[in-house]
Structure 1
Amino acid sequence: MRAYAARAQGYHEAMTPTLVPEVVHHAANAAGRDFVIGDLHGCVDPLRYLLHKVAFDGTRDRLFSVGDLVDRGDQCEQALALLDKPWFYPVLGNHEDSLCAVVDGRLARHRWYGIGGGWSQALPERSLAAHAKRLRELPLVRTVGEGAARFNVLHAEFFGDDVELDAGQFDTAVRERMLWGRELALSAGAPPHRALSLTYCGHTPVRELRQIGSQMFIDTGAFIPEGRLTLVEAMTPRHWSISVQAARAMGAADMALP
């Protein structure tokens, strides 16, 4: 995992910020439940299984995503199709940002292929451009609810508090940390105490859910052979995980999404 982190770190340096709505706030869900899913990386079958497992109701429940819908797995276009679902609320991940960078001419295709973008080789340019257009609309942060019931969703890590997060004034260094940072997840200690609500993050694969300070890391490596996709019910200790192989063995491919 550290080797993977080191490889990925080298690809962000030439990237410049993409114009996106940085922070989107959502009211608390009074009608149903809120869930957060770890990095999908083109692994939609385990998502199908997990939503079926928790009896997800698309008319009342919401699914937030820590980003990295694409690359690595074999169902990247199916993952992008989730953007059409009214119950699905992702943030921008570094892999979506990389796709946009390729379309914008900020990143060479072969460098994207090196971190998992090879699935797009057969895609017409117009299709990739259409995906980038939609991905540019994703925020860096989603905040949900207020006060003690509030939680945040972002991709990698954030060293600040709720006030700074809400302001959305992220310079280039902070933005790169939010998309690519691994310092917190790979360190032994927590950052200084800050008034940051529970914040769900992905990006750095962990064997089990890991909370450091206010940040909960939920990427359990769905694309890794020994990894799993993890679904968390927000603001509760409840979570569910399954591997791609196990989900497919349970018939996940035939389970309809809400």
Structure 2
Amino acid sequence: MTHTPDALVQHHAANLAGRDFVVGDLHGCVDALRYLLREVDFDTARDRLFSVGDLVDRGEREHCEQALALVDKPWFYPVLGNHEDALCEVAEGTLPRNRWYGIGGGWAQGLPDEVLARYARRLRQLPLARVVGEGAKRFNVIHAEFFGDDAALDSGQFDAEVRDRLLWGRDLVLGTGKPPHHGLSLTFCGHTPVREVRQIGSQVFIDTGAFITEGCLTIVEARTSGIWSVSTVDALAHGAAAIVLP
């Protein structure tokens, strides 16, 4: 794995031994994740799970902390989401806690500052984008959206506007942005909940609202037609609570 000096973009070699999966916004829904990993027969020795970010917020404290623990799993490769960015800003003193609580950070009420700071230090090491493989088989993983080509993504030269779009942008899904760039490889995104996996140009939106009552968590197998989704309610009904994360 290589990365730009500021670690905003990390590059990974193609997985020649196993499969690559990408999971939508988790928001602490670890029960659904456990269920889906069992469904795809995930092999930690050969397979990799990439994440479009937003591991935390909206969920319970126990589940959000379990989601944060995934960052140190050797088979788990997340990008920074806007909710992780908000956690870091709170820990760094640039965002008031109550504003974070208003967008889902309420699980952290009562969490000691030193614990939050420890999480923030680890999360600040996450990239804004991951690039997997090369050529026709390449795919990218980001959080929200990107209006540029592969070369612009690879450069890691993101000004404040581009960074904000990578973390918060919704224009492409809402139909208010310019058409996607033709030079961008298949790119998996989250951030904006959609009813089902939706592709716009080369960008594939896979956040199906895991934290929403009528939503679900989705995993896709990159470069295949494989899509698996489950709600937390259904996952628990099928024994997810007893499944141990790899």
TM-score clears 0.5: yes
- For residues 116 and 55 of structure 1, do their structure 2 counterparts lie closer, same or farther at Cα, with a shift above 3 Å needed? same
Report how many aligned residue pairs link the two structures.
Answer: 240
Q: Say whether 1:25 aligns with 2:11.
A: yes
Superposition deviation, residue 122 in structure 1: 2.2
Matches of 2:197 and 2:135 in 1, distance apart?
A: 24
Matches of 2:107 and 2:143 in 1, distance apart?
A: 22
Q: Judge conservation of contact 1:190–1:213 (CA < 8 Å) in 2.
A: no
- Misfit runs of 4+, over 3 Å: none
Matches of 1:241 and 1:192 in 2, distance apart?
A: 26
Q: Judge conservation of contact 1:66–1:202 (CA < 8 Å) in 2.
A: yes
Aligned to 2:51: 65
Q: Judge conservation of contact 1:182–1:204 (CA < 8 Å) in 2.
A: yes
Q: 5 Å matches for 1:1-258?
A: 21-74=7-60, 75-187=63-175, 191-258=179-246
Matches of 1:97 and 1:130 in 2, distance apart?
A: 14
RMSD of the alignment, in Å? 1.3
Q: Judge conservation of contact 2:171–2:177 (CA < 8 Å) in 1.
A: no
Matches of 2:177 and 2:111 in 1, distance apart?
A: 43
Matches of 1:189 and 1:140 in 2, distance apart?
A: 20
Matches of 2:125 and 2:87 in 1, distance apart?
A: 13
- For residues 170 and 190 of structure 1, do their structure 2 counterparts lie closer, same or farther at Cα, with a shift above 3 Å needed? closer
SS of 1:70's equivalent in the other structure is coil
Matches of 2:132 and 2:174 in 1, distance apart?
A: 27
Matches of 2:132 and 2:6 in 1, distance apart?
A: 19
Query: Which one-letter code corresponds to 2:16 in the other structure?
Result: A
Query: Which one-letter code corresponds to 2:162 in the other structure?
Result: V
Q: What is the TM-score when the length of structure 1 is the normalising length?
A: 0.91
SS of 1:133's equivalent in the other structure is helix
Matches of 2:166 and 2:84 in 1, distance apart?
A: 13
Superposition deviation, residue 133 in structure 1: 0.5
Deviations 1:152-197 (A, max 9, x none): 0000000000000000100000000000000001117871542100
Unaligned runs of 5+ in 1: 1-18
Q: Which moved more, 1:91-100 or 1:245-254?
A: 245-254
Matches of 1:134 and 1:192 in 2, distance apart?
A: 32
Matches of 2:100 and 2:107 in 1, distance apart?
A: 10
Deviations 1:85-128 (A, max 9, x none): 10000000000000000011111100000000000012111111
Matches of 1:188 and 1:101 in 2, distance apart?
A: 28
Aligned to 1:8: none
Deviations 1:192-216 (A, max 9, x none): 5421000000000000000000000
Query: Which one-letter code corresponds to 2:145 in the other structure?
Result: E
- For residues 111 and 188 of structure 1, do their structure 2 counterparts lie closer, same or farther at Cα, with a shift above 3 Å needed? closer
